Each structure stands twice: as C-alpha cells, then as structure tokens.
C-alpha cells in the first residue's frame, strides 16, 4: 500500500503573460512571466487520496493539468509508476500509461459534448484505447458503467442537457472509469454542485475508490470537503506547497501560519462560538509575488529572514512544513 | 417585536411561458425586523434570488409578481409605479450582487460611481458627496480612501471590489440591504473579512440585511434567523441556532447533514436522493415528497401548511397535530 504511484519533483510552470511583441518593442518592456507553480514536490501512494487545497491563484489546477499531461511543465519531473511523463525516450511506455490516468473536471456543463449522446460520450475512452472490439460488448460495458454511477442504461440514449448538474457529474465519472484507470485527477469535482448533490457525488467517489482501489489527486478550495475525502493534504499558496501532512494531523494541528489562517476563515457551521482570528490581506498578484516567503506580508510570525530568504521544506514524521518560523521554533 | 422593516405576505412570482405559467416563488411569507439579519438559504433554483429581486422591484420580464404583498416600513411597495419605486430602490432598500466585477462600471473611477449614487439619493453638493464617498470607503475598510477613490475597478482585488460595492449600497443610507450571494465569488479568507464587515455595519447602522446564499456556513456566521427555501416555497423558518442544531423539516435535516464537517471526519455523508425538481416538474402536494424518507399519506396530495414547533415554523405534514 505504501508504494508511491505518482511522484512529482521540483515541478515548475511559467506562463508567458507578456504584452504583444509590438507593444514590448515600442514601450521597451521585458517579457513577463507568471510563476503559476513553483518548485512543487509531492508523492501519491497507491490507493490514497491526496488533496491539494488552496485559494484561487494558488496553482492547484495547474498542477493537476500537468500531472495528467494536459500542459507540459516548464521544469521538473512527473513520474507515474517510475515512468517519466516528461522524458521523450519513454513515450511508448507513456502511451500505455495514459489509459490508466483519467480526469474529472469542475464544470459538468462544459466538460460533456452537448451534441453527443451519453453512450457515445462514455464509450469514447473504450474505443480510443481499443478495450472492447464489437459494438455489443461496448454497449454492455456502457450500461454497466452507467449503473455503476447510479444512472440507468436507458440514460445512454439521452443528451447531456437532459440531465441535472449532479447527474452530469455522474456521467463524467462514468466516462473517467471507462478506461479502467488506476489514477483519477479530480479538479474541483463538486464546486459547481449544490450541497445535497455534492454529498451524493462524494459518497459515490469514495465507494468507487473502495471498489476499484482507485488513487485520487483531489483538487479543492473547500476545506471541509478535503477533510472528508483526503488521506493526505498539501496546502498551496501562490504556487508553492507550504505544508503537506496526513489529513487527520493537518486538521488537528495545522503547523504553517497560512494553513491556520485558512482554517480560521472557514465559517463556523455549528455555531460553536470558536473565536476567529481576524484574517489579514488578500493573495498578492502572482505576476509580482513578494520576496522570500511569499506569505510574509500576511503572516503574523514574519521577520526579516522571511522577507528575504525562501524557506525550504522541513520534514518531521509524516508532515512537511515550509516555514522559517516553524524551523526556528518561533510561535505566536 | 416592534413593527418589522419588511413584511412579505404570500408572495408569488410567475413566469409566463409558451407551455404555461411557471411558478418560481409560491406564496412565500416572512418578516425582517429592524436591524435583523435574515438568511435565505436554498439550492440553486429554489427561488431565493427571485424573492430578493421581487422585493427590490428588479424582476426581469417576463417574470412578474402575481400575488401577495410586500410591505416595507408600513407601506406597500409592490404596487407602486416605476417612478415611486425608484425613490425606494437604492435609497431605502439597497442591493449587493454576487459578482463585484459586473456590478461596477469598468469605465468610471469608483469615486464617480459613488458620487453619482450619493447625489441621486441625497441632497448635497458635489464636494460634500465626494467627502461622503471617502468616508464610506473608509467605513467599509478600504485603506487610503483619499487616493483609492480615484482608482478604476480593475485596480482593486476581488475582496476590495466587493467592499466598494457595499459602500455603493450604503450610499443612500438604506434601512434594508438585500445581499445576493455576497461572498460566493470570493476566497474563504476574503469571505471571512466581508462577513465581519457586514456584521459590523449591521450593528453600527442598525440596518437590516436579507442575506441570500447557498452556504449554510455563511448563514451560521451571520444570520439571526434563517428561511430555508425549497422549490419556491419556504420549508422552515426559525432562529439560526435552532435551525442548525435542531432542524425540523426533513429537507433542512438532510441539508445540514450533507455538509461535510471541518471538525470531524466521517466515512459517509448523509445524502438526499435525487435533486431539486425543475420548475416545470414540481410535484403535487409537498414539493419535497419524492426525496423525503419520512413521507406518508397526505404528502403527495396536499400542500402542508406551516406549523409552529418549539424550534421553528415548519411546512411539513409530520407536524400536523402538534408533533411527530
């Protein structure tokens, strides 16, 4: 169980956000880059759910897209079962690996082709990977997949617009399962859904994980959803991972000041009267991030070192924290 | 309780379509007291935004108020003509929308937008309006308001923009603010700041807020009382504390239980089967009955009336005759 399925090392992604060439020449501007993901490393063990949590602009979706290979990394290494996703020499091995990686997107209204019937949508991966040859077998498999996610076989003849948001997300899950994957990247799979439907989808995802031994990379901004789903959690801030820990540990004893601030900001649903620290500031512009530790302008523990020097990850036990104050034992 | 600032009785909002009339809001009644925060919670399509739009008179045609009355500060406002409505809207009742980017004009400096709004509602000179705009920006927590007043909306971050929108809503010194998903487009850390701000304004100005949201967490943090909407009807109304800890209606109960908790992890979430019906397919009787695990005889035939319980007012047959 403890074997690593996915290893990500020093992953960095830059996006070119320069003005058009002519403007740059006339105005004498340099090229500008946005560092969406900055030196991110983590590994995902077989059968676990690794969650990346962070606010908008923290780079969590960019990591997800790089892991499935939708966008190439600028630097760094992604390997799945020791097969490099970035090494051109291993392209052949990567092709066979592709079948075993699938993705579920945030918006089930945008990720299904409105002109295709559901059975065609769900059978596309089966045909693409040549998993079944004759049409009857494909039809049987599609029916099986639809019933697996709680839809009926007859739903295959319908179009996506005939379904509600939750049902569409079920179709997306059926499509992801069609190629018999081991690893599914879920990018905010329930953010577009209402809570009662969200509960259905989260339960379904956990049932499927138990049944097929799936490994999830789960991206979300919602801490309570992450707590419910994840075995391990990485907290991202401005393109860097600030803390990685087992879910139970992280939620009981958050170490990084940003993680603490994030937890504090979550509304107190049960009205327990938990005191709130006042939350300071907002995420800075990622095009021009703060020096040193990027969290220092909002951090209650920041000192001169934090303003100048980028902190390095410090591992103790199962958790890794990237913070000068933790390293030096400074606390509030 | 003294006279409520807003009292809605049997409000009906309809949309005439080619296939007949769709009833989006179906005989909703509630009160908001002076200085009170009423949370209106429900899933998408429950009719919460339409209720807000009907109160402030911003229903998009062909939507129309087809019945009931809206009484604001002792006077009916649903039957006013456009001209009279305008004297109420924005001044006495203000609105905060979900997306701060689309509720500000990108071509004008925020100062001009604030001054314009202030001059529309209050009788003062331009210079006075400008200094009032600066003090409003200061009140909503914008640093260095004297210089920021001349910035354009795009120069503000999402949270700061929402503060500007709140300042705009405050411009006419309203008694009631309808806030439609004011924090939904914001990150949690910014959301916490905006919630604090709304609570402070409510306390300091004695202004009432109708807080429309799908997020029970935001309600629990902010609201004094909550109305739970389902398929255009009120399922349950009560104090926030009661509703959170002792939900009575099966829908409220399911809604509360389906929210994952930050304090404890559980293996399975309680799930309500199915999803909210579309407007064209609202079932007879109690609209929730096809998804309800406690349905019995009258549920699929007759709509329940509201019953008072120890904790809240509930529209559910289970409470017919004084208890379960």
Test B269 with A278 for CB contact under 8 angstroms: no
Q: Tell me the average confidence (pLDDT) per consecutive run of 10 residues in chain A, 332 residues long.
A: 83 90 87 90 94 90 92 91 82 84 90 94 93 91 94 92 91 94 94 89 94 95 92 94 93 91 86 73 84 91 91 88 88 62
Structure tokens at B232: 């255009």
Tell me what pLDDT residue B322 has. 55
Give the one of B188, B261, B271 whose C-beta lies nearest to A262's C-beta.
Answer: B188
pTM: 0.88
Tell me what pLDDT residue A48 has. 94
What residues are paired with B70 via a beta bridge?
B8
Tell me what pLDDT residue B185 has. 83
Tell me what pLDDT residue A332 has. 55
d(Cα A132, Cα A179) in Å, to the nearest integer? 10
d(Cα B183, Cα B218) in Å, to the nearest integer? 8
Closest chain B residue to the Cα of A259, Cα to Cα? B189
Tell me what pLDDT residue B1 has. 52
Which chain B positions have a beta carbon within 8 Å of A242's beta carbon? none
d(Cα B129, Cα B110) in Å, to the nearest integer? 13
Q: Which of A111, A125, A191 is nearest to B215 (CA)?
A: A191
Tell me what pLDDT residue A2 has. 57
Lowest-confidence range among A244-258, B38-52, B209-223, B270-284? B270-284
Which chain A positions have a beta carbon within 8 Å of B48's beta carbon? none
User: What is the residue-averaged pLDDT of chain A?
Assistant: 90
Tell me what pLDDT residue B210 has. 96
Structure tokens at A85: 């996703």
User: What is the residue-averaged pLDDT of chain B?
Assistant: 90
Token look-up 């379509």 returns B17
CB atoms within 10 A of CB B103: 18
Write out pLDDT tens, residues B94-148.
Answer: 999 888 778 899 999 999 999 999 999 989 999 999 999 999 999 998 989 999 9
Measured CB to CB, residues of chain A less than 8 Å from chain B are: 55-56, 164-167, 194-200, 202-203, 206, 221-225, 227-228, 247-248, 251, 261-272, 276, 278-279, 282-283
Question: Can you say whether residue A180 is alpha, beta or left, with left for phi > 0 and alpha for psi between -120 and 50 degrees?
Answer: left
Test B216 with A194 for CB contact under 8 angstroms: no
Give the one of A167, A195, A251 whose C-beta lies nearest to B255's C-beta.
Answer: A195
Rounded to the nearest angstrom, the minimum Cα separation between A196 and chain B is 6
Residue B323 pLDDT exceeds 70: no
Higher pLDDT, A53 or B1: A53
Structure tokens at A28: 């004498």
Tell me what pLDDT residue B281 has. 86
d(Cα A212, Cα B165) in Å, to the nearest integer? 49
Mean pLDDT of B46-70: 91
Residues 6 or more apart whose CB falls under 8 angstroms from that of B203 comprise none
Structure tokens at B135: 């003090």
Which chain B positions have a beta carbon within 8 Å of A267's beta carbon? 191-192, 195, 215, 217-218, 220-221
Tell me what pLDDT residue A159 has. 94
3-state DSSP assignment of residue A75: strand
The CA distances from residue A332 to A261, A278, A294, B131, in Å, are: 13, 14, 19, 40
Q: Are A282 and A262 in contact (CB under 8 A)?
A: no
Residue B324 pLDDT exceeds 50: no
Structure tokens at B78: 């649903």
Tell me what pLDDT residue A236 has. 95
Residue B284 pLDDT exceeds 70: yes
Residues 6 or more apart whose CB falls under 8 angstroms from that of B107 comprise B152
d(Cα A287, Cα A125) in Å, to the nearest integer? 38
Which chain A positions have a beta carbon within 8 Å of B258's beta carbon? 195-196, 198-199
Which chain A positions have a beta carbon within 8 Å of B254's beta carbon? 196
Test A199 with B158 for CB contact under 8 angstroms: no
Test A228 with B260 for CB contact under 8 angstroms: yes
Rounded to 5°, angle at Cα A214 from A211 and A215: 150
């Amino acid at each position: 169980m403890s074997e690593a399925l996915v290893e990500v090392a020093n992953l960095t992604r830059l996006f070119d956000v320069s003005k058009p060439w002519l403007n740059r020449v006339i105005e004498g501007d340099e090229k500008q880059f946005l560092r969406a993901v900055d030196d991110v490393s983590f590994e995902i063990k077989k059968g676990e759910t690794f969650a990346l949590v962070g606010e908008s602009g923290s780079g969590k979706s960019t990591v997800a897209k790089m892991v499935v290979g939708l966008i190439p990394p600028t630097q760094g290494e992604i390997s799945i079962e020791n097969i490099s996703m970035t090494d051109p020499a291993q392209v052949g091995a990567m092709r066979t690996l592709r079948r075993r990686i699938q993705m579920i997107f945030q918006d089930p209204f945008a990720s299904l082709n409105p002109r295709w019937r559901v059975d065609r949508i769900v059978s596309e991966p089966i045909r693409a990977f040549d998993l079944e040859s004759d049409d009857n077998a494909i039809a049987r498999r599609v029916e099986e997949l639809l019933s697996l996610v709680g839809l009926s076989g007859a739903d295959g003849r319908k179009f996506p617009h005939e379904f509600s948001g939750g049902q569409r997300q079920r179709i997306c899950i059926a499509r992801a399962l069609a190629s018999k994957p081991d690893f599914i990247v879920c990018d905010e799979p329930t953010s577009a859904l209402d809570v009662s439907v969200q509960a259905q989808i989260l339960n379904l995802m956990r049932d499927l994980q138990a049944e097929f031994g799936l490994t999830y990379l789960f991206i979300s901004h919602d801490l309570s959803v992450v707590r419910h789903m994840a075995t391990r959690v990485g907290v991202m801030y401005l393109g860097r991972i600030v803390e990685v820990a087992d879910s139970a540990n992280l939620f009981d004893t958050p170490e990084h000041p940003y993680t603490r601030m994030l937890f504090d900001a979550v509304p107190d649903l049960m009205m327990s009267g938990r005191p709130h620290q006042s939350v300071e500031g907002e995420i800075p512009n990622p095009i021009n991030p703060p020096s040193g530790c990027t969290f220092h302008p909002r951090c209650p523990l920041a000192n001169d070192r934090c303003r100048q020097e980028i902190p390095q990850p410090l591992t103790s036990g199962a958790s890794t924290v990237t913070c000068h104050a933790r390293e030096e034992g400074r606390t509030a | 309780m003294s006279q409520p600032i807003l009292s809605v009785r049997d409000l009906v909002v309809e949309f005439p379509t080619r296939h007949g009339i769709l009833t989006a809001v179906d005989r909703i009644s509630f009160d908001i007291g002076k200085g009170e925060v009423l949370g209106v919670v429900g899933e998408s399509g429950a009719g919460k935004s339409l209720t807000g739009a009907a109160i402030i008179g911003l229903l998009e045609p062909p939507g129309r108020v087809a019945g009931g009355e809206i009484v604001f500060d002792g006077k009916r406002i649903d039957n006013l003509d456009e001209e009279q409505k305008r004297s109420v809207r924005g001044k006495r009742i203000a609105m905060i929308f979900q997306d701060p980017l689309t509720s500000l004009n990108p071509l004008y400096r925020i100062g001009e937008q604030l001054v314009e709004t202030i001059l529309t509602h209050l009788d003062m000179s331009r210079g006075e309006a400008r200094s009032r705009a600066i003090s409003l920006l200061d009140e909503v927590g914008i640093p260095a308001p004297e210089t920021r007043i001349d910035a354009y909306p795009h120069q503000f971050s999402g949270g700061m923009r929402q503060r500007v929108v709140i300042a705009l809503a405050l411009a006419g010194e309203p008694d009631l603010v309808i806030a439609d998903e004011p924090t939904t487009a914001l990150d949690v850390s910014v959301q916490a700041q905006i919630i604090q701000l709304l609570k402070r304004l409510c306390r300091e100005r004695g202004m009432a807020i109708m807080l429309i949201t799908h997020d029970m967490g935001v309600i629990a943090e902010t609201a004094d009382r909550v109305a739970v909407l389902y398929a255009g009807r009120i399922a349950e109304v009560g104090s926030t504390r009661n509703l959170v800890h002792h939900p009575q209606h099966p829908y409220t109960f399911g809604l509360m239980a389906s929210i994952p908790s930050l304090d404890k992890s559980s293996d399975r979430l309680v799930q309500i089967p199915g999803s909210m019906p579309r407007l064209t397919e609202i079932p007879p009787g109690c609209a929730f009955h096809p998804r309800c695990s406690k349905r019995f005889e009258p549920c699929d035939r007759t709509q329940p009336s509201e019953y008072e319980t120890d904790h809240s007012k509930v529209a559910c047959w289970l409470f017919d005759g004084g208890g379960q």
